[in-house]
Each structure stands twice: as C-alpha cells, then as structure tokens.
Amino acid sequence: MLGEYDFTKKVTVLTGDRPTGALHLGHYAGSIRERVRLQDTGAECFVMVADAQAYTDNIDDTRKVGEAIPQVVADYIGCGIDPDRTTVFLQSAIPELAELTLLYMNMTTVSRLERNPTISAEKKLRGYGEFERDFPSGFLCYPVAQAADITGFKATHVPVGEDQLPMIELAQETARKVNRAAARDVLPEPLAVLSTTGRLPGIDGKAKASKSLGNAIHLLDTDAEIERKVMLMFTDPDHLTVAQPGKVEGNVVFSYLDAFHADKEEVSVLKDHYRRGGLGDVKLKRLLANTLVDLVRPIRERREEAISDSARIEDILRKGSAAARERVAAVIDEVRNGLGVFRLR
Ligand code: TRP
C-alpha cells in the first residue's frame, strides 16, 4: 500500500472516528494501523475525534458521546499514534468545519445524499427504515460535513474502511466543484487509503465488526475476554469433526488470521490443512487467541496508562484543536474567495 504514495508531492493525511465507545479491532485493521504507518513516513497527519458527526445519530445520548471522547484518544495513543507527530483534535472545537459544511450543503443535492449506499445501510441498521424519512436531517447531511473535514485540511490521503468510499467520493466531487468555481486548484482531490485486509467481520460472522452489534473485540478487552470471544467465533458450520474438510472462505477465524497473523506463510499452510481436513477449530482458535492477545496486550497497557491521565488527554486535544483550527481557518478563507462569497471584514 505504501508504495502507491507519491512522495514527490506533499502528503496530508486526515481521518477520524466517531466517539460512541472505545475502539475495536475493526477500527485498527481498517484504518488505525495505516495511520501509524503513514505517521512514520513523515507525512503531515491529522486525526479527528468526530464528536459532531457522532451526534447526527446520537443526540438522545449526548453523554455517551462525551464520555467516549477521552476513550478514543486513549485508544489512539495505545495504537501508537504519537501526538507529537500527529495532530489529534476534536471536531466540535473547530467551528470553521461547521461553516464549511453549511457552504457545501448548497453544492450538494438532496438526491445525491439519498443515493449514498453507506447512508442507506446505516439507516437500516439504526431502524430508520429505508423509505421512512423520520430521521435527523443532520444524519443525511453528515457526508457533506465529512467532505468539509477532509477538504478543510487540504487532505490528500484519507485512511478509511471501505464503507467510507462513498464519503470520499463526495469529498472529491466537492473539491472539483470548488476548483471549477474558482477556476484554479484551491483544493486537492483526496484519495482513500484502504487497508490491504478489507473489512473485518464480527465474531458472529456478520459483515462488520461493530460496537453496536456487540460482535467486536475491543482494544481494552482483557486477555481472558479476547480468548472467550475467539472461542465464540463462527467457523464453518458444516465442519463438525476434526477429520472433515473445512471451508476457509467466510470462516471468521481465517479472516482474523489474514488480518493479524504476521506469518502469512503459516496461515497459508493452515488453510490448506483445514481444506484437506484434519485440522480442528479449537487448535486454530488457540493460535488466533495467542496472536490477538499478543497484539492487543501492549495496546491495552498503553491505553490504560493514557486514560489514567485525563489532564494529558485534554492537553493533547486542546493543543491539537488549536493547531487544526488555524489550518481550517486559512483553508476556508481560500474556499470563500474561490467561490466569491461576500465576507464582512
Ligand atoms: N465517518 C467516519 C466513521 O464513521 C468518521 C469520520 C468523520 C471521518 N469525518 C471523517 C473519516 C473524515 C475520515 C475523514 O468512521
């Protein structure tokens, strides 16, 4: 993946997560791991706790969002995001992002928003009903806000899970519209950076690991919890005895081994063995449990240390948000000028 970056140009990375709870392995595999790699290349990096976006479907549970903010920052630190090299900030602390969203809403049609497949899927998931329209308008418009998040930093690269591709597409369209109106390149067209492993399924075999579905392994899970969840994982329902041949495709244990087991050769040998028969689920799960415990333990220990120092977490957010705000304020001026929007001085 890294080979595809064009380092002759300036790389600006921006991404974020909704604070609705502590993060899990799906976030780690989908995007956080990639952010840490990018941070190590010396690219300019911004990571946002997207609290304003979290309210678009959690306005009845604002406390949950508030409480999750330091948890997410602790998860970042646990995973190796270094606040000295990556600007970690809070979305709601940048009012310019809301202003940019308001401008962009005038450049985005309602039908364009209703065609967003991720929004449709999330509507269903949240019980908003596919054809009902009784959901918050802020929810429908959050992809516009996300275009503002991305272009407000002139981000060139956005590490995200594949469900976020429609959002990146809208950000690209918006950048093009601004550039066309300005008749010059004000904003770069951002690229999505997808993880090489694809979407991580839930332990129950559902397409997505998610906190709300209760099928994720969290970065704060204890060793025993990780082991318990691995033992609950769906494998091949027709693989009833050790001797039988088993299916690798759609087998959650193999999806996790593909995503996290460092020795790819070993995984490939195990897959052959499983397909042939003679490899039991329990043995496979023990291996995965060890892999995940080794991965999560240092993350959990660093995150525990971070969460115990709330003053440091606030300091990280305050400093990061001040720097982020300066950046967006400069970009929004350029966008306003480009669009010819009147501004009282
Ligand atoms: N929608 C993203 C998620 O749910 C979070 C997010 C908000 C984001 N703004 C962003 C991601 C900008 C990338 C860029 O995970």
Residue 1 confidence (pLDDT) above 50: no
Residues 160 and 175 in one domain: yes
Q: Is the CB of 52 under 6 A from ligand 1?
A: no
- Summarised one tens digit per residue, pLDDT across range 205-263 is 988 888 878 899 999 999 999 999 999 999 999 999 999 999 999 999 999 999 999 99
| Residue at 216 is within a domain | no
Residues 186 and 76 in one domain: yes
Residues 162 and 39 in one domain: yes
Using 50, 70 and 90 to split pLDDT, how confident is the model at 299?
very high
**What is the mean predicted confidence (pLDDT) over 97-101?**
98
- Count of domains observed in the chain: 2
Residues 256 and 322 in one domain: no
Residues 18 and 122 in one domain: yes
pLDDT score for 2? 42
Angle formed by the axes of helices 281-307 and 264-276, nearest 10°:
150
How far, in Å, CA of 120 to CA of 130, rounded?
Answer: 7
* Nearest protein CA to atom 8 of ligand 1, as residue: 16
Share of the chain above pLDDT 90, in %: 86
| Residue 162: DSSP 8-state | G
| Residue at 289 is within a domain | yes
Q: Is the CB of 53 under 6 A from ligand 1?
A: yes
**From 12, 14, 18, 195, mutation site for ligand 1 pocket: most ligand atoms within 8 A of C-beta:** 18
- Summarised one tens digit per residue, pLDDT across range 143-169 is 999 999 999 999 999 999 889 999 999
Q: Picking from 182-196, 289-303, 316-330, which range would have the lowest pLDDT averaged per residue?
A: 182-196
Higher pLDDT, 320 or 161: 320
pLDDT score for 345? 82
The parent domain of residue 295 ranges over: 223-304
Residues 117 and 256 in one domain: no
- Summarised one tens digit per residue, pLDDT across range 9-49 is 789 999 999 999 999 999 999 899 999 999 999 999 999 99
**From 14, 15, 87, 210, mutation site for ligand 1 pocket: most ligand atoms within 8 A of C-beta:** 15
* Nearest protein CA to atom 14 of ligand 1, as residue: 15
* Nearest protein CA to atom 5 of ligand 1, as residue: 17
Residues 100 and 193 in one domain: yes
Using 50, 70 and 90 to split pLDDT, how confident is the model at 199?
confident
Expressed in angstroms, the distance from the first to the final Cα of the chain is: 45
| Residue at 240 is within a domain | yes
Residues 166 and 300 in one domain: no
Helix boundaries (H) for the chain: 25-27, 33-40, 51-54, 62-79, 95-105, 110-114, 117-125, 137-140, 142-151, 165-182, 223-232, 252-260, 264-276, 281-307, 310-339
Distance 228 CA to ligand 1 centre (A): 30
**What is the mean predicted confidence (pLDDT) over 122-134?**
80
> Residue 137: in which H helix or E strand, if any?
helix 137-140
Higher pLDDT, 131 or 110: 110
pTM for this model (two decimals): 0.93
Q: Is the CB of 12 under 6 A from ligand 1?
A: no
Higher pLDDT, 1 or 85: 85
| Residue at 218 is within a domain | no
| Residue at 6 is within a domain | no
Query: What is the chain's mean pLDDT, rounded?
Result: 94
Residues 139 and 268 in one domain: no
The CATH number for 40's domain is 3.40.50.620
Residues 112 and 243 in one domain: no
